[in-house]
Amino acid sequence: MNLTAQVRKQLHSSGSTPFLLDVNLDFPAGFTVLFGPSGAGKSTLLDCIAGLQTPDAGRIAFNNDLFFDHDAKITLPAQQRHIAYVFQSLALFPHLSVEENIAYGLTQLATDERQQRIHEITSAFHIDALRQRRPAQLSGGEQQRVALARSLVTQPRILLLDEPLTGLDAGLRRKILDDLRSWNAANNIPILYVTHNREEVDAIGERIVTLEHGRVQESGHPGQVLDAPRSLALAQAAGFENLLHGVVLEHRPADGVMRVALSLSNRELEIPLGAAPAGSSVQIAIRAGDILLATEPPKSISARNILPGTILSLDLRGSLYIVHVDAGLVFTVHVTPGAVRALSLAAGQRVWLVLKTHSCHVVV
Amino acid sequence: MNWQALFLSVRLAATVSFVLLLLALPLAYWLAFTRWRWKFLLESIVALPLVLPPTVLGFYALIALGPRGFLGQLWQKLFGHSLAFTFTGLVLASMVYSLPFAVQPLIASFEALDRRLLDASAVLGASRSRTFFRVVLPLSLPGLLTAVVLCFAHTLGEFGVVLMVGGNLPGITRTVSIDIYDRVQALDYAGAHETALLLLLISFAVLSVVYGVNRRVWSPWPAR
């Protein structure tokens, strides 16, 4: 159960400079998240694996079955790869009912078995009641379930998911992911899941591969990869709400830090000692959830960066408050509703931002 | 009212629409999806009847269909009679004349299709022909209707090509528009008016159907 994809393909996306998609990846059974900013080549990679686009060079194989081999001039048509692919647009056939959509890939089966499979998949994804409806009569979440069911009912060897759950709220997304996870507990196939949404990555866990400009940046466990992003685009995609510019003032090897003067303000930060020499400019990514808020100047605390500021605004978004604080620069901070209540935080209030040195990530 | 001429015109229009559709469907499908670099040449040929005077088209059709023409000789060998001044010859010439009216609406509706639907069909294992009949065609029905109706209306009213290729044989090649011309030549204005008004009303009704079903305003030119 292993998909190997060596893909080289020149991409000419409109509005940006052409770049080369050049990856060499292994996908074992289970979830692998393909993460990266839009235009990084994620969807193109899936299209190549599915057989909808042809790489310029490389080799794609599943176990011993060759899908594509440039040197041997082999290209298996998409129809024969036996892969399931759920597009971002879902691509449900608008003129067919839910049941006809799901039956679309099952023409080879006898009627009895086809009915049996449709019955199983519609109950697994909780869409029995929708079988006679048209896609236009379904909610977003229902359409996503139908698209998954239509793909999985064919018992594919590989499942490709291109942001299939965007636009759903976190609760619904988690439910659908749970259904998908229990489906794969029985089937155990490689699932490639493209997203640029950090919440989805956290909900899926397992493995992650980050792509940028057609190259693999990093791979590993989501926690390791996304919590210390090495590039600006990745930091933006990974949900680092605070991206600051600064100039390195000095290195302090004895303390394991360097001091950085933040541009557009007279504030300084201590950040982990890095390669950037004194005098060079750096960008620093800080996650909004990694910043602490205090209503009094904190004392006896290990965090090295304490910046006084004023609350500009508080916005309730789902289960957290997004707080904007003017501390020379505007910082975005995430706070729980409980903390807002306990500290009686309000706009205009004087606060202190507390930042651990290691919450400040230098990105390039 | 010359019912014989009207009946002939309707028969001609129906035959041309049907046969042309069988030809236009694959041609339009290919033109909509091919990446062939010279396809613009073929598109230009398809659009030629829109700009050529019917007499020019009719002239070349007459030469091709005549006893010395390529098609005429082939037909002579196969069926033992000539094509010029026959109903079949009229059908062939009218097909060329109405080609853009069948092909362009089909190309427009094929190009408007969401390509991901075709991708989804392929990934689900459907062959190209199954994709065409199960996805492309059902979703292109408005374009199909537009093509048929415009072909029908356009052939119903054609004059120049018929005159060049068909001549004026009652019951064989004398269509309504020829009949109207004959009546005006003979100063029978009342008779001409009767037929002309009927043709006007039919054309209006037919176009109303197209625009009623299809909200997109249609143009015979490729949408670029």
pLDDT in tens, A264-318: 788 888 888 887 888 888 888 888 888 998 988 888 888 888 889 999 888 887 7
* Chain B: closest CA distance from residue A7 (Å): 19
- Chain A partners within 8 Å of B117 (Cβ): 91, 93
* Chain A: closest CA distance from residue B16 (Å): 30
* Window from A17-21, A30-34, A250-254, B113-117 with minimum mean pLDDT: A17-21
Measuring CA to CA, how many Å separate B119 from each of A78, A202, A211, A261, B45?
9, 30, 24, 52, 30
CB contact (8 A) between residue B116 and residue A78: no
Q: How far apart are CA B69 and CA A342, in angstroms?
A: 96
The pairing of strands A74-75 and A65-69 is antiparallel
CB contact (8 A) between residue B135 and residue A77: no
CB contact (8 A) between residue A85 and residue B120: yes
Place of tokens 């069988």: B22
* Chain B: closest CA distance from residue A170 (Å): 26
**Sheet containing A329-335, strands listed edge to edge, beginning at the edge strand earlier in sequence:** A291-294, A350-355, A305-317, A320-327, A329-335
Average pLDDT, chain A: 86
Q: How far apart are CA A35 and CA A212, in angstroms?
A: 9
Say whether pLDDT at B217 is over 50: no
* pLDDT-derived band at A242, boundaries 50, 70, 90: confident
- Chain A partners within 8 Å of B123 (Cβ): 50-52, 78-79, 81, 83-85, 151
pLDDT over 70 percentage in chain A: 94
Return the exposure string of B125-164: e unless at least 16 CB atoms fall within 10 Å of the residue's CB, then b: bbeeebbbebbbeebbebbbbbbbbbbbbbbbbbbbbbbb
Between B70 and A308, the higher pLDDT residue: A308
B149-194 residue pLDDT tens: 889 988 988 888 888 887 777 777 788 888 888 889 889 899 889 8
* pLDDT-derived band at A327, boundaries 50, 70, 90: confident
- Chain A partners within 8 Å of B134 (Cβ): 93, 104
* pLDDT-derived band at B221, boundaries 50, 70, 90: very low
- The mean pLDDT value for A238-266 works out to 84
What pLDDT is attached to residue B222? 47
A84-103 residue pLDDT tens: 999 989 999 999 999 999 99
User: The dihedral of CA A28, A31, A33, A34: what is its sign?
Assistant: positive
Query: Nearest-5° angle of CA A35, CA A38, CA A39?
Result: 110
A145-191 residue pLDDT tens: 999 999 999 999 999 999 888 777 777 787 888 888 888 888 889 99
- The mean pLDDT value for B126-133 works out to 92
- The mean pLDDT value for A54-81 works out to 92
In 3D space, the residue among A207, A141, A209, A208 whose CA is nearest the CA of residue A179 turns out to be A141
In 3D space, the residue among B105, A297, A206, B63 whose CA is nearest the CA of residue B72 turns out to be B63
Q: What is the ipTM of this complex?
A: 0.77
A114-150 residue pLDDT tens: 999 999 999 888 899 999 999 999 988 899 999 999 9
- The mean pLDDT value for A21-45 works out to 88
Tokens of A319: 């289960």
CB contact (8 A) between residue B139 and residue A94: yes
What pLDDT is attached to residue B16? 94
Q: Number of CB pairs < 8 Å for A and B? A: 58
What pLDDT is attached to residue B71? 82
* pLDDT-derived band at B224, boundaries 50, 70, 90: very low
The shortest CB-CB distance from B119 to any of A52, A80, A104 is to: A52
* Chain B: closest CA distance from residue A50 (Å): 7
CB contact (8 A) between residue A79 and residue B116: no
Burial class, B179, CB count within 10 angstroms (exposed 0-12 / middle 13-18 / buried 19+): buried
* Chain B: closest CA distance from residue A17 (Å): 23
Interface of A with B in 82-111 (CB under 8 A): 82-85, 87, 89, 91, 93-95, 104-105, 107-108
In 3D space, the residue among B15, B7, B5 whose CA is nearest the CA of residue B151 turns out to be B15
- The mean pLDDT value for A345-364 works out to 86
Q: How far apart are CA A61 and CA A329, in angstroms?
A: 51
Q: Is A51 on the interface with B (CB under 8 A)?
A: yes
The shortest CB-CB distance from B123 to any of A83, A94, A95 is to: A83
* pLDDT-derived band at B63, boundaries 50, 70, 90: confident
What pLDDT is attached to residue B168? 74
- List helix spans (H) across B112-140: 115-123, 128-131, 137-139
The shortest CB-CB distance from B116 to any of A78, A79, A89 is to: A89
